[in-house]
Chain A
Amino acid sequence: MDATERPVADLPAQRDGQEVIHLDRVEKVFEVRRRAGLLRREKREVRAVDGLSFSVGRGEVVGFVGPNGAGKSTTIKMLTGILTPSAGTLRVAGVEPARDRARLARRIGVVFGQRTTLWWDLPLLDSYQLIHRMYRVPDARYRENLDRCVELLGLGDLLDVPVRQLSLGQRMRGDIAAALLHDPEVLYLDEPTIGLDVVSKANVRHFLADLNAERGTTVLLTTHDLTDIEQLCRRVMVIDHGRLMYDGEVAGLHRIAEVERTLVVDLATEMAPIALESARTVKVEGPRQWLAFPAGQPAAPIVAEIAAGWPLVDLSLREPDIEDVISLMYAGRSAG
């Protein structure tokens, strides 16, 4: 199947009906054993995923978010064929992951943010050559994909470097390339920008946006970084306690929860809380103060205002976290 012939524009599943990922009342129950006393052990059932149903269409980029322990990674593990579901049905790229792990693996690419799929002690290029053979990628196709990844992810100088010597950002780019050499229909990204610096984050996001636009690769992304979601996804799913709490446009998520960014300012001396129209001071600790303001609002005017009226020494900006969004979402829901 040639992905390059797909139109560049977005193709929501609901429109052309081509579902790439489909889950129907999927459950995953773990049995947790706990030591209770010297010899006695207690058994307890943990429902990590509790009747999850959704589908993702070809070419969609979907953000999959939720607090730690919400069932995100268990779901990803079922979608990639690592774990078998306890109940319900699952289909990815026309394959049942639990039953046909190898066939599924030929059609998907997986990037685990915190662990590499590359061979740790060997040069990056060795890993790629091995993937070439292991996935039986036709030579021409492999060359084309590798050249493209090397160029767009800036891997040229890194191909001869052993993976363990790469920085986190370099390794992440190397991992993303590795996941794409075999033209996967679906790409799973688990925290692809975790621990990266601002420039690396931007590079990774640009690359993914281009990939989706040009090749129509379906992308499912878990992240804690709201900017990842804002810049890459049109659709977002929020999961908690193994259930889907929200599934819709990213913009809708903003409507539900008014998210704030935080400006951390260091003043020359300890002072009374800064009073501004556009931001509210949420915390004061010695000469350091925290000011919150709506995420949609630019930071520059606020900074200018503070610089004009207060002895500003240093400042930094804290982006909102997915967790903030979700907790606000729950707060709003229980209030309404």
Chain B
Amino acid sequence: MADPAAPPRPAPDPVDARFGSPLTEGLRTYRLVVAMWVRSTLTYRASFAMALCVAVVANGLDFVAILLMFSHVDRLGGFTLGEVAFLYGTSATAFGLAHLTVGSMDRLGRRIRDGSLDTLLVRPVPVLAQLAADRFALRRLGRITQGALVLAYALTVLEIDWTATRLLMVPMMLVSGAALFGALFVAGAVFQFYAQDAAEVQNAFTYGGTTLLQYPPTVFTRELVASVTFVLPLAFVNWVPASYVLDRPLPLGLPVQAAFAPPLVAAVCCVAAGLLWRVGLRAYRSTGS
């Protein structure tokens, strides 16, 4: 018998009972929306296959530029072609993964201007998931494929003394690197809440970041290397862990343990980007502009 004096326990609402936590709902929605775009892309299989091939070749042109440099020199900043290819491959693949999964977020400014962000806010799932999945472009696999090919080339030409740690380091770099770039895309989108027309600023960090990391850290000034290590920790995508794999001293004289930090750095950046996103969305909902 229930105590009649106790306040009535609110009955679980049949509507809300169907839903999980925002995280579950967000991931589920992301998956659903992505699946829909993939299905629609694959309706035109031939045209997609062609677009992908073109993307692989066209994206490869900046590696061709590096090859052309090495037709004149044996080393760049003290790094051999194989080593630069390793940096290029890890940077391009990690960037490609982030670009594929959350790259569409750079359309936020446009969505604010045309008012279509509001249509995402009236749906019962996190806006971040809807926005990241929107217009999921499978052709961005081209960048990943091309990066992976260069990485495979690097791994065949490099004479690395493979230990289990070094071997595990490579997938760890790709996953952490993708998460780092992903956090950067989200942070870039947050910036667009405040400056819708300045979407291009984020290109300096995303596209600029991946370009920077394709070259050895020894090419750049100490100030630049320090700022992408301690301020915007892009160096943890590859420069820092790659130095360990390539058996080179870490940039800025960092201790060797730093080479194992990427997962931690990436996690911190993702959490920070998530918090920034909440702040940005809250600001949008209070100003509506």
Do A and B touch each other in the complex, judged by CB within 8 A? Answer: yes
Which residues of A are at the interface with B, using a C-beta cutoff of 8 A?
A: 1, 30-31, 74, 77, 80-84, 86, 98, 101-103, 105-108, 110, 112, 114-117, 119, 121-122, 126, 129-130, 133-136
Inter-subunit contact B123/A83 (CB<8 Å): no
Which of B25-33, B67-75, B224-232, B272-280 sits within the interface?
B25-33
Inter-subunit contact B123/A134 (CB<8 Å): yes
Residues of A within 8 A of B16 (CB): 103, 106
Inter-subunit contact A130/B32 (CB<8 Å): yes
Interface size on B, residues (CB 8 A): 33
Q: Tell me whether B119 is interfacial, beta carbon within 8 Å.
A: yes
Q: Binary interface profile of B, 29-68, with partner A (CB < 8 Å = 1, else 0)?
A: 1001100110110000000000000000000000000000
Residues of A within 8 A of B289 (CB): 30
Q: How far is the CB of B197 from chain A (nearest CB, A)?
A: 14
Inter-subunit contact B119/A117 (CB<8 Å): yes
Inter-subunit contact A84/B125 (CB<8 Å): no
Q: How far is the CB of A29 from chain B (nearest CB, A)?
A: 10
Inter-subunit contact B119/A112 (CB<8 Å): yes
Residues of A within 8 A of B118 (CB): 77, 82, 112, 115
Q: Tell me whether B22 is interfacial, beta carbon within 8 Å.
A: yes
Q: How far is the CB of B107 from chain A (nearest CB, A)?
A: 12
Chain A CB count within 10 A is highest, among B18, B118, B135, for B118
Inter-subunit contact A136/B18 (CB<8 Å): yes
Compute how far the CA of A81 lies from the CA of B125 in the bound complex, rounded to whole angstroms: 13
Compute how far the CA of A116 lies from the CA of B286 in the bound complex, rounded to whole angstroms: 23
Inter-subunit contact B121/A82 (CB<8 Å): yes
Given contacts A30-B288, A102-B22, contact A115 B116 (CB under 8 A): yes
Residues of B within 8 A of A108 (CB): 122
Inter-subunit contact B287/A30 (CB<8 Å): yes
Inter-subunit contact A126/B119 (CB<8 Å): no
Inter-subunit contact B122/A80 (CB<8 Å): yes
Compute how far the CA of A81 lies from the CA of B121 in the bound complex, rounded to whole angstroms: 7
Q: Tell me whether B124 is interfacial, beta carbon within 8 Å.
A: yes
Q: 8 extra interchain contacts, Cβ-Cβ under 8 A, other than A102-B125, A136-B19?
A: A30-B288, A81-B122, A83-B286, A84-B282, A84-B286, A106-B16, A115-B115, A115-B119
Residues of B within 8 A of A98 (CB): 285
Inter-subunit contact B119/A83 (CB<8 Å): no
Q: How far is the CB of B113 from chain A (nearest CB, A)?
A: 12
- Interchain residue pairs with CB less than 8 A apart (9): A77-B118, A84-B285, A86-B286, A98-B285, A102-B22, A115-B114, A117-B122, A122-B37, A134-B123
Q: Tell me whether B254 is interfacial, beta carbon within 8 Å.
A: no
Q: Tell me whether B12 is interfacial, beta carbon within 8 Å.
A: no
Q: How far is the CB of A74 from chain B (nearest CB, A)?
A: 7
Which residues of B are at the interface with A, using a C-beta cutoff of 8 A?
A: 14-16, 18-19, 22, 25, 28-29, 32-33, 36-37, 39-40, 114-116, 118-119, 121-126, 135, 282, 285-289
Compute how far the CA of A123 lies from the CA of B28 in the bound complex, rounded to whole angstroms: 21
Residues of A within 8 A of B126 (CB): 102
Residues of A within 8 A of B39 (CB): 126
Minimum CB distance partner of B32 in chain A: A133
Minimum CB distance partner of B125 in chain A: A134
Inter-subunit contact B124/A134 (CB<8 Å): yes
Compute how far the CA of A122 lies from the CA of B39 in the bound complex, rounded to whole angstroms: 10
Compute how far the CA of A108 lies from the CA of B121 in the bound complex, rounded to whole angstroms: 12
* Residue in B28, B36, B124, B282 whose CB lies within 8 Å of A103: B124
Compute how far the CA of A300 lies from the CA of B122 in the bound complex, rounded to whole angstroms: 45
Residues of A within 8 A of B19 (CB): 102, 106, 136
Minimum CB distance partner of B120 in chain A: A117
Chain A CB count within 10 A is highest, among B14, B16, B39, B123, for B123
Given contacts A115-B114, A117-B119, A134-B125, contact A31 B14 (CB under 8 A): no
Q: How far is the CB of B221 from chain A (nearest CB, A)?
A: 32
Q: How far is the CB of B19 from chain A (nearest CB, A)?
A: 6
Given contacts A1-B15, A130-B32, A134-B124, contact A116 B285 (CB under 8 A): no
Inter-subunit contact B122/A135 (CB<8 Å): no
* Residue in B14, B18, B22, B288 whose CB lies within 8 Å of A77: B288
Minimum CB distance partner of B29 in chain A: A134
Residues of B within 8 A of A133 (CB): 28, 32
Compute how far the CA of A116 lies from the CA of B96 in the bound complex, rounded to whole angstroms: 31
Residues of A within 8 A of B124 (CB): 102-103, 105-106, 134-135
Q: How far is the CB of A109 from chain B (nearest CB, A)?
A: 9
Compute how far the CA of A135 lies from the CA of B15 in the bound complex, rounded to whole angstroms: 9
Residues of B within 8 A of A134 (CB): 29, 32, 123-125
Q: How far is the CB of A96 from chain B (nearest CB, A)?
A: 13
